[in-house]
Amino acid sequence: MKASSIFATLKTAAMSSSPTPVQAAFKLALQRELRSSVDGISREALLRAAAAACREPLGERWADTQIADAKRGDDPLKAPVRRVHYLSMEFLMGRALGNAIAALGLEETLREAFAAQGQALPDVLEREPDAALGNGGLGRLAACFLDSFAELGLPSFGYGLRYQYGMFAQAIQDGRQVEQPDDWMALGNPWEVPRPEASYRVGFGGRVEVDADGSRRWQPTEHLIAQAYDFIVPAHHSQRVSTLRQWHASAAAPIDFQAFCRGAHAQAAKHRVAADSLNWVLYPDDSTDPGRELRLKQEAFLVSASLQDLIARHLREFSSLHNLGKLNAVHLNDTHPALAPAELMRLLLDEHGLTWDEAWTINRQAVSYTNHTLMPEALETWPLYLFEALLPRHMEIIFEINQRFLDEVRAKFPGDEGLLARVSLIDEGGPFGHGGERRVRMAHLAIVASHRVNGVAALHSELMVQTIFADYARIFPERFHNVTNGVTPRRWLQQCNPQLSALIDGRIGKGWRQDLAQLGKLKGLADDAGLGQQFGAVKRANKERLAALIRRELGVAVSPDSLFDVQIKRIHEYKRQLLNVLHVIARYQAIIADPTAEWTPRTVVIAGKAASAYQMAKSIIQLAHDVGRVVNSDPRVGDRLKLVFLPNYGVSLAETIIPAADLSEQISTAGTEASGTGNMKFALNGALTIGTWDGANIEMAEAMGVENMFVFGQRTDAVAQIKALGYDPRLYVEQNLQLKAVMDAISGGEFSNGDTSRYRALVDNLLGRDTYLLMADFADYVATQARVDALYRDPAGWNRCAILNVAGMGWFSADRTIAEYVERVWSVRSLD
Ligand SMILES: *Cc1c(COP(=O)(O)O)cnc(C)c1O
């Protein structure tokens, strides 16, 4: 196909219709791109051209947005709008083109232009690599928030790092996970806009010098340059955009010329390589990586560059620092950027000459923090010696913050030495600390420095103040809040499920894209049998697409008539993928025992990555493959049961899988899943949930009616009670023949070709400790799965329930979440 013919098509299209200015500008840009394309009009060329063309209108919108935001303090009669700075080590953006053209209203323009070249729009979109700069929910939440920042017109910057390699690419070899580098920028990144004017120096190491006047000055031994790259995220219902500013590190010093001339080339560039190592990878969140020092440097680098950028912008716009805290919010997405208060204090004290009290007031006004997990091992701490060596001035500041804070606590709760030790920013390494080693507690720093701390779902926020932060809730009761997570309906319904979107549009109009609460109008239509059938037909079409993908990827034929039972999320013991696999084994054994019974055919789909050092999670992936291999190839089973594991889970795979799910597995041990957002995406797309009374499942059940969710398992109070009474998982196994048969099959090597050692650790763990109570919840889980089967045999009843699920999801929009953050966490009023 000749490139020239696409120009002709575009020109005809441009003349025949009356294009909007954006469409016209886009068409010109596309023509220019294609003319300069060296490889003709491959899908990749079309992708690059379209992306480059989108940059033009996005760039315009970016400039307009910045100009408008700079004026936000101008009206003396209005309370100033605060600009939000959302600091996160992770942004799980996924693909950008589909979202950009939906926002810019260019879908039809592109569809026609590509069709004229024999290319379907979705096939081109699929060529874009995912920007997978995050591990899971926390990073995806940050990405959904950027979308809502734009949509709500909130003055904001997202701040992150520009990782060369994102979350690893997961390959499966012989049923085992193999990690490969995720070279997502190999063909360049057409979306980023370099901002050479936004560049800052960040120091490490050295020591603190004291001047004659007593002021302290940090003399670092190493300097890096932080260079900004912007990723622009458009609103869908206005011209606003939000910005993700990602920092790239390079060495401040040029190459060592003396060494170079001696011929010692490697040594001449040593510090450049060291600087560049900050850009290499996103560390997996829960592995025990030896690169911890590098991770601390990455965190400090993100924080310092972002805050320097904030201060520079504030001074440009308002020329005084006194109102910095009132006009800017600095939000910490978990403790990873919790160095921010220490760095902000350092900048205000040492670089801008403020007093401690002035700086501390600004700091407290600006900073707020979201906690994402109750698991104590996930609360970051840093060995003091490492911290002090890399960040000596920050260490001093933290000691000072700590001393002033502990003095306050002492005054308020005299004589309570235990309390002081527990809330200190420093873990002194006593008998209950980290075995003798002094450590800096980042969550404590985040709480003490913040004016607001929030959890991410009602139950999680409650448990947070009852357990890990109970002492702090006593000291600062007004500081703790809840803001339940949400997801963006633009990506997670409109774009990923066009057929369902069209069906909903036809019944209640298109307004839900902007105001998801309008989905509530579907409630009154749940008994409309015609709508139920149409719901079923859309689901069926989505399942056929997924079945085709499964056949293509894995060579396994699955029936779109079977119930698609889906669990996709990071592989973790608390999320209990293993419980899911145990159910598959139990079902397999039951089918073999009684093949003629009335079985509801099922296809179980699992996807997710295990942190590279997390052996138990990797063992669960292997077991899923082993069980799948046996079940899928057993001729006695046929379509009654299949188990497939789709490799390399990420945002784009989620967008394909979720619209095709009948059943959403949200089965964490009660009290362990802070919120979950996968649960929301599934229900929004008409999947029914089988879930525990955990995280946001609870609020979803309340919103849609608990009778429309398959709830099972021990609740948090019962979990605590079982553990308090001395939990013995063996008792549950001995009392349940079905469970015993499942465990025996695994340990007897039935899924590992007779190898009885492969799953010994896994089985021993379940029978010995079973931290996440799989044995205690197994019977109820299996019984509830039988209720799922029964409803699925009644398509009308199932579709009715699916409609009610969608109708109940209006509250779980990220737009609502962000509106609540603005109200309770980021508003000027929250400072009183
Ligand atoms: C939504 C999402 C998550 C979070 O899923 P949970 O089920 O809430 O853990 C993780 N990864 C990706 C790619 C997602 O889109």
Task: Compute the distance from residue 686 Cα to the ligand 1 centre, in Å.
Answer: 17
Beta partners for 356?
none
Ligand 1 site, residue 137, Cβ cutoff 6 A: yes
Could you tell me if 348 and 358 are in contact, meaning their C-beta atoms sit under 8 angstroms apart? yes
166 lines ligand 1 (CB under 6 A): no
**Ligand 1 nearest atom to the CA of residue 654, by list position:** 15
* 372 is annotated as an active-site residue: yes
Residue 569 annotated in active site: yes
Q: What is the pLDDT of residue 290?
A: 60
Q: Which two tokens stand for residue 528?
A: 């409309």
Rounded CA gap, 395 and 607, in Å? 42
What stretches in the chain show pLDDT beneath 50?
1-17
- Closest ligand 1 atom to 651 CA: 13
CA of 648 to the centre of ligand 1 (A): 13
What does DSSP say about strands 328-333 and 367-370: parallel, antiparallel, or unpaired?
parallel
To test the pocket of ligand 1, the residue of 651, 667, 700 to mutate (highest count of ligand atoms within 8 Å of its CB) is 651
Concatenated DSSP letters of 284-349: PTTS--TTHHHHHHHHHHHHHHHHHHHHHHHHHHHS-STTHHHHEEEEEESSTTTTHHHHHHHIII
Is 113 within 8 Å of 358 (Cβ atoms)?
no
Under 8 Å between Cβ of 722 and 671: no
DSSP secondary structure string for all residues of 739-797: HHHHHHHHHTTTTTTT-SSTTHHHHHHHHHT-TT-HHHHHHHHHHHHHHHHHHHT-HHH
Tell me how far the alpha carbon of residue 618 lies from the centroid of ligand 1, in angstroms. 18
Q: Which atom from ligand 1 is nearest to the alpha carbon of 695? A: 8
Q: Which helix (H) or strand (E) element contains residue 247?
A: strand 241-251
Where do the CATH 3.40.50.2000 domains begin and end in the chain?
80-93+135-194+229-246+283-484+818-831, 489-812
Q: How many helices (H) and strands (E) does the chain have?
A: 35, 24
Check if the beta carbon of residue 764 is closer than 8 Å to that of residue 640.
no
Strands 241-251 and 156-161: parallel
Length of the chain counted residue by residue: 832
d(CA 725, CA 707): 31
Token pair 């294009």 in the structure block, residue: 19
Q: Is 415 left (phi over 0), alpha (psi -120 to 50) or beta?
A: left
Which residues, other chains included, contact 797 with Cβ-Cβ below 8 Å and sequence gap of 6+?
791
Ligand 1 centroid vs 429 CA: distance in angstroms? 35
In this prediction, residue 778 carries a pLDDT of 98
Q: Which CATH architecture has domain 80-93+135-194+229-246+283-484+818-831?
A: 3-Layer(aba) Sandwich (3.40)
Verify whether ligand 1 is closer than 6 Å to residue 677 (CB atom): yes
Q: Which of 27, 245, 331, 569 is catalytic?
A: 569
569 lines ligand 1 (CB under 6 A): yes
136 lines ligand 1 (CB under 6 A): yes
For atom 5 of ligand 1, the residue with the nearest CA is 678
pLDDT at 121: 94
Catalytic pick among 236, 295, 444, 681: 681
CA distances from 84 to 74, 133, 241, 345, 431 (A): 18, 21, 14, 18, 41
- pLDDT at position 286: 55
Strand partners, 158: 86, 244
Which residue out of 240, 394, 570, 800 is catalytically annotated? 570
pLDDT at residue 432 in the model? 54
Q: Is the CB of 650 under 6 A from ligand 1?
A: yes
Give the other-Cβ count within 10 Å of 477's Cβ: 9
The 3-state DSSP class for residue 390 equals: helix
Location of structure tokens 């923090």 = 369
Using CA atoms, how far apart are residues 88 and 824, in angstroms rounded to an integer? 20
**AA letter at 55:** R
Question: Would you say the CB of residue 676 lies under 6 angstroms from ligand 1?
Answer: yes
Assess whether the C-beta atom of 651 lies below 6 angstroms from ligand 1.
Answer: yes
Nearest alpha-carbon partner for 242 in 300, 160, 136, 308:
160
The CATH H-level (homologous superfamily) assignment of domain 489-812 is Glycogen Phosphorylase B; (3.40.50.2000)
The pTM score is: 0.96
49-64: burial string, b at 16+ Cβ within 10 Å, e else: bbbbbbbbbbeebbee
Residues 464 and 695: beta-carbon distance below 8 Å = no
Half-sphere exposure of 201 (CA within 13 A, CB side): 11
Structure tokens, 105: 């209203």
CB of 139 shorter than 6 A to ligand 1: no
Active site residue 681: yes
Atom of ligand 1 nearest to the CA of 92: 13
Tell me the backbone φ, ψ of residue 51, rounded to 5 degrees: -65, -45
Closest residue to atom 6 of ligand 1, CA basis: 678
